[in-house]
Chain A
């Protein structure tokens, strides 16, 4: 195994939208920035093949007062039930700056010269999603970062942060294609590794790659932050996205038809004919989508009939910016014509919400460690905006402190190297897929949509057995499989935290349903945080910040 050493002022882990925006801002402030990316920043992350709707507040469009916009978002409540309001307000306040920056970089943010808002809106409500042409946004952001002197290390997975709960000092990365580890020394670190897509079963349990966001998103940042001693928040809430059946894919806000049952009745009260401006907000009602399918009233279809050819072209245009080119090609190849046919629409597999705790400055609970993007806030607008905030503050912090000494963490580095050598050296044992599927079945069965003390206890104990076997015996035949194995180790840490926090919330609230505690408890209108102290998870209840 080769060991390489790289020094940075600001180390950015994950080169998606948030990571690249952080890199650009930090580099503008004149520090040495290194981005470490598991894939390639040109096409990686949840926005790798584009986005077409950008959550934002534009004063020229929405008016001078931000509060109605914030209230509308909370009312629309895609993610609001579990967000600190100060985080959202800070995002909306700085989102216009982000939109203007995107435009200055060359990402088309206007349509026919104007701000074009649409989708994800209840009729009568305020449109919050700006339609933009984001298909090549990652190429643009990468180019901008390189111009500013950012160093990009593609095909390296960071597996462990170096430092302790008092401060971060760097990280240990693993090359995804060669037998090599990289020791990064850094004054500050931005975590921007995105969501965790592989903890629960996808809609097709036998086809692990059918995920609604990229398969390689395994929540590495959450697992690493926890192991370092940083605080995490809100892990107990399950969440399901929805979209067309069975081509699991994010980007439902780009589909503008009406959701109908088999008999043709709209399932939601929002629209009864396709709407370019609003879309059908019924698509976020997961229980209803699910119930229809499971009680024999399904499937539910999305119906675009009645849209003119020009309107269908308009929809297709935006879909090609929202990573749906393959979906559109598939419909065409299958002879599916949206002017005649209705296509199935369904709820997808479970994810969990929450993530690494941050404040409005993107600081985590560990000094020098910042987090941005889907690491905590969800969606492209917040990712870009908090990326910039994180990059700015990480650079300022780096300027103020001397370079840390990572020799102090030699034992940790050796421990990880020996873990890797163990995984690569074994001739037999469970592989990554076997372990991943085992984790997924445990999560679905015991920390799924309906939970109880007995199930959570059984599941947690089962998961710990799997963890023990994985730590001792998982094997990889090559470097690609090694990376998947390291992801599996990260999944196990996250799964355990979901169990522990779900056990603590002894009530039913929002999507956290406890069969043994069917009522909401007024005293639990709070968030649960967890951090590792002396090797053990320590939980706390915190008041949502306003």
Chain B
């Protein structure tokens, strides 16, 4: 579930933890790679992806939000 962190790229800077308005990363510790504790309230605002200096985060859009098209 979103966001998905590539721990190989993550440098544990904590920017995503600071930015997330929903505090999806609650419980993450300073200086350590973040944990995704509450993915179900991710609003897909993309702040963590946009602001990550290592491009280590992507969002997995849940099936409930798959866009309809034809």
Contacts and interface: CB of A to CB of B under 8 A. Distances in A.
A89 B45 CA distance: 32
Given A176-B23, A209-B40, A480-B37, A331 B51 contact: no
A523 B68 CA distance: 45
B61 A326 contact: yes
A342 B27 contact: no
Residues of B in contact with A, size category: 20 to 34
Nearest to A247: B65
Given A344-B69, A478-B27, A48 B64 contact: no
A246 B65 contact: yes
A330 B43 CA distance: 14
B18 interface: yes
Residue of B19, B27, B38 with most chain A CB atoms under a 10 A cut-off: B19
B66 A246 contact: yes
Nearest to A300: B68
Interface in B15-70: 18-23, 26-27, 37-38, 40-47, 49-51, 59, 61-62, 64-70
B26 A48 contact: no
B43 A211 contact: yes
A480 B25 CA distance: 10
B69 A49 contact: no
B18 A40 contact: yes
Given A43-B51, A480-B37, A334 B43 contact: no
Contact of B68 (A38, A245, A323): A245
A48 B50 CA distance: 12
Contact of B26 (A177, A244, A247, A330): A177
Contact of A215 (B41, B50, B61, B62): B41
A479 B23 CA distance: 11
Contact of B21 (A43, A248, A301, A326): A43
Interface residues of A, number: 47
Interface string A238-268: 0000001111100000000000000000000
A214 B22 contact: yes
A98 to B, nearest CB: 23
Nearest to B58: A329
A516 B50 CA distance: 51
A216 B46 contact: no
A331 B69 CA distance: 10
Contact of A208 (B21, B27, B40): B40
A206 B68 contact: no
A285 interface: no
Nearest to B39: A209
A343 B62 CA distance: 17
B67 A325 contact: no
Nearest to B37: A480
A204 to B, nearest CB: 5
Given A39-B21, A43-B47, A206-B64, A478 B26 contact: yes
A167 B22 CA distance: 32
Across the A-B interface, give the 3 residue pairs with the lowest CB-CB distance, nearest first.
A344-B68, A39-B21, A480-B26
Given A48-B47, A209-B42, A342-B70, 9 more contacts: A42-B18, A44-B21, A214-B21, A215-B43, A301-B69, A301-B70, A330-B61, A341-B70, A478-B27
Interface of A: 38-40, 42-45, 48-49, 154-155, 176-177, 204, 206-211, 214-216, 244-248, 299, 301, 323, 325-327, 329-331, 333-334, 336, 341-344, 478-480
11 contacts: A40-B19, A43-B19, A209-B43, A216-B23, A246-B66, A247-B65, A247-B67, A329-B59, A343-B68, A344-B69, A479-B26
